[in-house]
Amino acid sequence: MIAFFRSRIASFGHAFHGWAYVIRTQKNAWIHATLTTLVVILAFWLQIPARDWATLVLITAVVWSAEFFNTAIEAVVDLASPVHHPLAKVGKDVGAAAVLIAAGAAVLIGLLLLGPPLWNKLSPFFGF
pLDDT tens figures, 45-90: 999 999 999 999 999 999 999 999 999 999 999 999 989 999 999 9
Quick check: is 13 in a domain?
no
Is residue 32, in this structure, part of any structural domain at all? yes
- Judge whether 1 lies within some domain: no
Look at residue 72 in the predicted model and tell me its pLDDT. 97
- Residue 45 belongs to some domain of the structure: yes
Q: What is each CA distance from 82 to 78, 79, 88, in whole angstroms?
A: 5, 6, 9
The set of catalytic residues is 67
Identify the pLDDT of residue 125. 86
Number of structural domains the chain divides into: 1
Domain that holds residue 91: 27-126
CATH assignment of the domain containing 42: 1.10.287.3610
